[in-house]
Structure 1
Amino acid sequence: MNQSLTIDNEQATVGVITKGGCITSYRLKTNDGFFDVLKSFGQRNKASFPLIPYSNRIKNGCFVFEGKKYQLPLNFGDHPHSIHGVGWQEEWSVKNHEEDSITLELTHDGTVWPFPFKATQTVKLSGADLYNEIQLTNLSTTSMPAGLGMHPYFPRHGTAILTADVGEVWKTDDTCLPLEKISCPPNWNLTSGAMVDELHCDNQFDPWTGTALINWPDKSASVTLTSSEDLNRLVVYAPRDEEFFCIEPTSHITDAFNFAFQGRPQQETGIRILEPEETWTVWMELLPKHHL
C-alpha cells in the first residue's frame, strides 16, 4: 500500500512515497512561501527516483551474463527496451522515519530482475540540503551485474543554466541507445554553462567529475548537485516544450551489460559485479541557495 511521508524543518520540506521509492517534492521555505528545487512529474508524482539495479536502457530487454542469456520485461509502454531498473516500479517498505530522515527498503525476489537483491534508500534533510543515498546488496548465490543512479527532475523556473565539467557525450539512435562517444558540440558545452532551453537532448555525458550547478537567474536561486565517486556519468534530459529537465548521476553507460558482453572493459562500461552478500553504496546531494 502506497504511503506518503514527509520530513520538514525551518528551511525546507521533502515528500516521499513508498511506491517506487520516489521523492515527490523538495521545497525551500522562503519569505514568499515555497521555492521548488525539484519538480514533481508523472502519474506517480515523481520528483526523483532511484535507478536500481541499472539505469537507462537495456537493448530489447536482453543481455548475456556469464554465458547465460536473460530476457527482462519491457517495462515502459511501447518502448522497445527495458528502462531504469525495477526499483521505480515496486513498493518499498518504511524501515525508519525520523524527524530529519526517511529510510526505505526493497527486497526483490529475482523475478522481474533475474537476481534477488535488497535495496535501501535514505533521504535526509540537513538544514536546506538534501542527501539521498542508495545501497544495493546481492542476495543471489551467484555474482550479479549491477549499475546505480538517481533520476531527479528540476523545474525550469523561466531561464535555467546548467554547468558541469564534461568533455564528451554519447550520440544515440532514435531510441536513445548509444552509437559513439564524441567531443561535446558547441550547443552542449556544459563546461561554460548552457541554457537548458537550448539543449534539446536526452544524452549521457561521459566522464563527469561529480559536480553540476543549476542557476535560475530569474528566481535568484541555484542548486549544486554532487555525487559519490562511482556516479561519474551524467545523463541530461532536456525535452522541448516541457517545464522540467533532468540531470541524472549514473554509474555506467547506457546498455552497459551488452557493451560488457562485447568485450568492452569495466572502466568503459562502468558495470559493477557484486558477489553474493556484497553491498554497494552511492549517494547524491543537493545544495541549494536562494535569496529570500
Structure 2
Amino acid sequence: MSDEEITLTAGDAEVSVRPGDGGRIGGLRTGGVQLLRQGERYGCFPMVPWCGRIREGRFLDGGTVRQMPLNSPPHAIHGTARDGAWRTARVSGNEAVLTYELTDPWPHSGRVTQIVTLAEDALTLTMSVETYDDSFPAQLGWHPWFRRNLGGEDARLDFEPAWQEERGADHLPTGNRIDRKPGPWDDCFGMPGGVDVTLTWPGQLELKVTSREEWVVVYDEQAEAVCVEPQTGPPNGLNTLPRLVTPLEPLEATTTWSWRRL
C-alpha cells in the first residue's frame, strides 16, 4: 500500500500518520487544537530498535561489539527506524497499521509493526519488534513533542516517579537511582507501576500519558515543547538492561494518551 500521509478521525479528534517520514505521528488535533509541535523533526516518532542514547554508539550483541553511527556525537540516539520509510499494511477510519523492516546499519533482520488507534478521547500506539532469524537485544518507545502552550498558560507536568536515573556529564545514566530533582529535565525516571504522566494546559485540556512499561524520559529543556517518552528500558539500555527479541518472543509495548477538556 501507499506510504502517503494517512488521516484518522474519531469524533472531533484527528491524527495524521506519516509512514514515509519514519512512521511518525505528524499531528493530533482535538476540537481543532493541534497538540503536537509541528515540523519534520517533531510530531511523535517511534524510537526503535533502541531508545535515547547508546554510549559512543557501541553495544554488546552476544559476544560481538556493534557500532552504530554517531548521529548525536559522541553517542548514537533514538534508533534507526525514524529515518526510514515505513509501509502501510492496513487502514480503517480510525486505525492504521504500519510496518518497517530493520536494515543497515542495524546488524539484524527483523520487522517492526506499529498500530495507531484513535478514539474520541484517546490515542493508543502499540509497537512490536519480531525476528524470524537471529535473536538480538532491542528497545522501543515513543518520542512525542507536546506543545508547551496552546494559546493560554503553559502546560503543567505532573508525575510521581519511584526514582530518577542519575545523569552523568555524558547525558547517560550513571547507574545510581536518586530522588527526583527539579526540572528542567532531560532525564529518565522509573515508574514500576507503569508510566503515568499528566500534562495540564490550565483551563483548556488535561492529557495523560500511560503505559505498562516502567521507564519514561522527560525532556522539557526547549521553550516550545514538552516530551514525555515511554520506553522499554533506560537510555543506554542495550548495554545496561537489554531486552532480547527471539523468534519465539517479540518485544512489544503500548502507550495511550487520553485527554479531557477542562
Counterpart of 1:11 in structure 2: which amino acid? D
Q: Which of these residues, 149, 157, 162, is aligned with residue 141 of structure 2?
A: 149
Quick check: which one's helix share is greater? Answer: 1
SS of match in other structure, 1:74: coil
Counterpart of 2:37 in structure 1: which amino acid? K
Residue 243 of structure 1 deviates from its aligned partner by: 1.1
Mind listing any 5+ residue stretches in structure 2 that lack a counterpart? none
- Report runs of 4+ in structure 1 exceeding 4 Å deviation: none
1:4 paired with 2:5, answer yes
- CA–CA distance in 2 between the matches of 1:70 and 1:40? 34
- CA–CA distance in 2 between the matches of 1:254 and 1:156? 24
- CA–CA distance in 2 between the matches of 1:278 and 1:180? 27
The RMSD of aligned alpha carbons is: 1.8
Alignment correspondent of 1:26 = 28
- CA–CA distance in 2 between the matches of 1:46 and 1:127? 23
1:36 paired with 2:37, answer no
- CA–CA distance in 2 between the matches of 1:184 and 1:64? 30
Alignment correspondent of 2:65 = 69
SS of match in other structure, 2:145: strand
Residue 39 of structure 1 deviates from its aligned partner by: 2.3
Mind listing any 5+ residue stretches in structure 1 that lack a counterpart? 188-198, 260-268
Alignment correspondent of 1:221 = 205
**Cα pair 1:24 1:45 within 8 Å, conserved:** no
**Cα pair 2:244 2:251 within 8 Å, conserved:** no
- CA–CA distance in 2 between the matches of 1:85 and 1:45? 14
SS of match in other structure, 1:165: coil
Alignment correspondent of 1:210 = 195
85-94 or 168-177: bigger deviation: 168-177
Distance 1:8 1:185, change over 3 A: closer
- CA–CA distance in 2 between the matches of 1:90 and 1:16? 14
Residue 186 of structure 1 deviates from its aligned partner by: 5.1
Q: How many residues align?
A: 256
TM-score, reference length from structure 1: 0.82
Paired-residue identity, % = 25
- CA–CA distance in 1 between the matches of 2:10 and 2:57? 42
Counterpart of 1:235 in structure 2: which amino acid? V
